[in-house]
C-alpha cells in the first residue's frame, strides 16, 4: 500500500520534471536555426568545422545577451551530403521544428535542392559554404542569401592574377583538371569567360575530368605533362587536391608547370594534411585564410576557433560563422525573427564586418543577386610553421577588389538561357 502511495506521487513528479524545462524555455524568446551540414564521409570535416564555428558565433552572441531579447538556437542534422535526404530534413525543420532559418550546406547539389524547399515554404535559407554560381544567378529565389564567395568570384580573381602574371612571366598555354560534375565544369567555364573578358590571350591545350573522389590520378598527370601547358588550373576540393599533388610530385610536374588553384586549393586542410610534403611555389586561394588579412578580427576568430577545437579552421568554418552573425544582424534590425518580408529587406544590402575582410573593406550582400561581395586574396605556398601541423602557408598575397569579381549581367543572361 505504501509502495502504491509513493508510486502515485511519482507519476506527477515525473511529468513535472519532463514538462518544466520546456515551459521554461518556452517563455524564452528563441531564434531557431536548422543546420544541414554533413558530418560523415569526405565532406565531414567541412561539416564539423562549420558546426563548431556556428556554435562559437552563437555562444559569443548569446553571451552578450542575445539579439533584441532573443537567444540564438542552432541544431544540426547530418545531411549526409545527399540532396534527397537533405530535402526531407529541411521540410522537417520547416513543418515540425518551426525553424526561422535554414542554414548550411557544403555540397552545391544539396544547396540547389534545399533552395527549392526554401522557396516553396518562404523560409529564408542562408548559404554558407557551397559555391555554385547558379544559386545566386539563374537559380536565385527571393529567400536565398549566400555569405561566402561563389566560384565565379574565385575565377574572376584567378583570371586577374593570370593577366598580371603574363606581364612578368609570359605564358600562353593552359590546361585544366577538375572533378567531373557541375562544380568542376563551372570553374573552367568561368575562368575561360573571365580570361576573355579581361582581354587575356591564351590557348587551352588540355581538359581533364576525373571522377569526384577518384583515388588515382597517375594517367592524368602523365597526360598533362605530355600536353606541356605553361599553367595547370585545378578545380579539386578536399582530399582530391591532396591525392593529386602527392601523385604529381615525383613526376616534377610542379617544376615544369605552374600549378594554379584559385577556388579551394588554398584551404587550410591541404596545408595541414601535407606538412613539409607540400611543394613551395603553388598559387592557391580559398574563401578564407587563417593568416590573411592580418587584422585583429581575423586573428581573434582563428585563435578562438583553435582554443575551442584544438585545430585551425578550414574555410568552411568562416562561412558558418559569417552566416550566424548575418542572421543576428538582420534580426537586430527587424526586431524579431518572424517578419520574413522585413528580414529579406534587412539582408539585402546588409553590411557586415567579417574575419576575412581587410581593414579597408566591409563585406556586403548584393541586393540583386543576394550574394555576399568580398575581396579575394591569392597567395603562393611558402614556409610558415605558425599554424601547425601545417609547415607551409600562403604568402606573397595579391588582393582583388570585390566589385571586379561579380558576374556581369550578360553572363547571368547566358546562364538563364542555358
Q: Which residues bind another protein (CB under 8 A)?
A: 40-42, 44-45, 48, 180, 206-211, 213-216, 218-223, 226, 238-240, 242-243, 246-247, 250-252, 269, 272-275, 277, 311
User: Is the CB of 89 or the CB of 352 nearer to another protein?
Assistant: 89
* Host H or E run for residue 153: helix 151-168
d(CA 203, CA 136): 30
* Host H or E run for residue 398: strand 392-400
User: Is the CB of 83 or the CB of 238 nearer to another protein?
Assistant: 238
d(CA 285, CA 377): 7
Helix (H, G, I), strand (E, B) or coil at 214: coil
User: Is the CB of 63 or the CB of 250 nearer to another protein?
Assistant: 250
Smallest gap from Cβ 191 to another protein, in A, equals 17
Helix (H, G, I), strand (E, B) or coil at 275: helix
Contact 350, 365 (CB under 8 A): yes
Which residues touch 412 (CB under 8 Å, ≥6 apart)?
Answer: 137, 138, 369
349: left (phi over 0), alpha (psi -120 to 50) or beta: left
The residues with which 379 forms a beta bridge, in sequence order, are: 284
Contact 97, 75 (CB under 8 A): yes
Smallest gap from Cβ 218 to another protein, in A, equals 4
Smallest gap from Cβ 275 to another protein, in A, equals 7
User: Is the CB of 43 or the CB of 94 nearer to another protein?
Assistant: 43
Smallest gap from Cβ 43 to another protein, in A, equals 8
Nearest-CA neighbor of 193 among 140, 151, 130?
A: 151
The sign of the dihedral angle between the CA atoms of 268, 274, 277, 279 is negative
d(CA 10, CA 77): 35
The residues with which 398 forms a beta bridge, in sequence order, are: 378
User: Is the CB of 124 or the CB of 253 nearer to another protein?
Assistant: 253
User: Is the CB of 121 or the CB of 309 nearer to another protein?
Assistant: 309
Smallest gap from Cβ 206 to another protein, in A, equals 7
User: Is the CB of 203 or the CB of 211 nearer to another protein?
Assistant: 211
Q: Cα–Cα–Cα angle for 87, 143, 25, nearest 5°? A: 75
Contact 218, 247 (CB under 8 A): yes
d(CA 241, CA 224): 16
Smallest gap from Cβ 213 to another protein, in A, equals 4
User: Is the CB of 41 or the CB of 349 nearer to another protein?
Assistant: 41
d(CA 328, CA 157): 30
User: Is the CB of 316 or the CB of 352 nearer to another protein?
Assistant: 316
Smallest gap from Cβ 91 to another protein, in A, equals 24
Smallest gap from Cβ 117 to another protein, in A, equals 25
Smallest gap from Cβ 181 to another protein, in A, equals 11
Amino acid at each position: 500500500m505504501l509502495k502504491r502511495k509513493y508510486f502515485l506521487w511519482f507519476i506527477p513528479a515525473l511529468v513535472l520534471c519532463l514538462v518544466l524545462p520546456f515551459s521554461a524555455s518556452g517563455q524564452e524568446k528563441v531564434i531557431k536555426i536548422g543546420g544541414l551540414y554533413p558530418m560523415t564521409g569526405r565532406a565531414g570535416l567541412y561539416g564539423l568545422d562549420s558546426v563548431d564555428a556556428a556554435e562559437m558565433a552563437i555562444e559569443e552572441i548569446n553571451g552578450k545577451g542575445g539579439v533584441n531579447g532573443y537567444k540564438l538556437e542552432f541544431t544540426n542534422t547530418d545531411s549526409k551530403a545527399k540532396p534527397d535526404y537533405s530535402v526531407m530534413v529541411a521540410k522537417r525543420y520547416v513543418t515540425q521544428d518551426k525553424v526561422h532559418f535554414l542554414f548550411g550546406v557544403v555540397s552545391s547539389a544539396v544547396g540547389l535542392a534545399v533552395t527549392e524547399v526554401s522557396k516553396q515554404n518562404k523560409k529564408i535559407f542562408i548559404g554558407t559554404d557551397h559555391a555554385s554560381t547558379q544559386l545566386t544567378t539563374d537559380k536565385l529565389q527571393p529567400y536565398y542569401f549566400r555569405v561566402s564567395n561563389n566560384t565565379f568570384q574565385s575565377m574572376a580573381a584567378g583570371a586577374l592574377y593570370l593577366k598580371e602574371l603574363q606581364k612578368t612571366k609570359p605564358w600562353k598555354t593552359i590546361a585544366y583538371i577538375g572533378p567531373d560534375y557541375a562544380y568542376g565544369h563551372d570553374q573552367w567555364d568561368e575562368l575561360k569567360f573571365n580570361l576573355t573578358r579581361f582581354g587575356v590571350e591564351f590557348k587551352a591545350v588540355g581538359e581533364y575530368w576525373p571522377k569526384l573522389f577518384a583515388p588515382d590520378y597517375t594517367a592524368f598527370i602523365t597526360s598533362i605533362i605530355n600536353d606541356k601547358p605553361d599553367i595547370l588550373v585545378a578545380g579539386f576540393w578536399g582530399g582530391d587536391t591532396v591525392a593529386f599533388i602527392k601523385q604529381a610530385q615525383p613526376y616534377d610536374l610542379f617544376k615544369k608547370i605552374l600549378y594554379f588553384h584559385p577556388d579551394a586549393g588554398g584551404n587550410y586542410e591541404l596545408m595541414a594534411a601535407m606538412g613539409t610534403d607540400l611543394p613551395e611555389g603553388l598559387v592557391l586561394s580559398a574563401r578564407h585564410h587563417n593568416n590573411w588579412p592580418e587584422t585583429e578580427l581575423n586573428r581573434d576568430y582563428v585563435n578562438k576557433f583553435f582554443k575551442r577545437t584544438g585545430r585551425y579552421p578550414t574555410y568552411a568554418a568562416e562561412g558558418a560563422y559569417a552566416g550566424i552573425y548575418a542572421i543576428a544582424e538582420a534580426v537586430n534590425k527587424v526586431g524579431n525573427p518572424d517578419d520574413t518580408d522585413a528580414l529579406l529587406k534587412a539582408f539585402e544590402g546588409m553590411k557586415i564586418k567579417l574575419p576575412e575582410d581587410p581593414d579597408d573593406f566591409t563585406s556586403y550582400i548584393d541586393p540583386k543577386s543576394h550574394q555576399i561581395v568580398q575581396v579575394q586574396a591569392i597567395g603562393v605556398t611558402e614556409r610558415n610553421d605558425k599554424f601547425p601541423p601545417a609547415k607551409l602557408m600562403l604568402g606573397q598575397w595579391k588582393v582583388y577588389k570585390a566589385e571586379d569579381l561579380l558576374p556581369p549581367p550578360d553572363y547571368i543572361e547566358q546562364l538563364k538561357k542555358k
